[in-house]
Chain A
Amino acid sequence: MKITLNHREETFDAETLTVAEIIRLKKFTFRMLVTKLNGQVIKVDERDKVYVKDGDNLEVIHLISGG
């Protein structure tokens, strides 16, 4: 499948993957992430239940401490 990941085109050798699987495959190592699929927020506990499919737009935003 071909998706848009953080505004870039990405191809995966699978029909569909969960948000959590994509995070692992792409090695997003930051501890704190916010994920949005097609503009809708996907909460931490939903990431292994929500599937990403061809043509989807996934955003993985990392957050670091300080304020």
Chain B
Amino acid sequence: MRELNPLLHSQLRLGVMSILMNVEEADFVYLKEKTESTAGNLSVQLDKLSAAGYISVKKGFVGKKTRTTARITEKGRNAFVEYVDALKQYISMQYK
């Protein structure tokens, strides 16, 4: 039985990864709104996902305001697919 990836097996990080699997890129405000998280917490989790190489984070400016955008990397995509596969195994075990 494969173990669930601990980096993804957390509420907010999994939420972020699920969103980024569905859009090409998303900015910080969008992620904060969709995950209903606090800015500080989201920022920390984005750093963790970025450090693992699962997402790439780009910081830029729109006028005078900063804009942080995130997109999933190939490594992140593979990790998410593996996580879902492992999850399927766990769930099918429960129903056996």
Query: Do they bind each other?
Result: no
List residues of A whose CB falls within 8 A of some B CB.
Answer: none
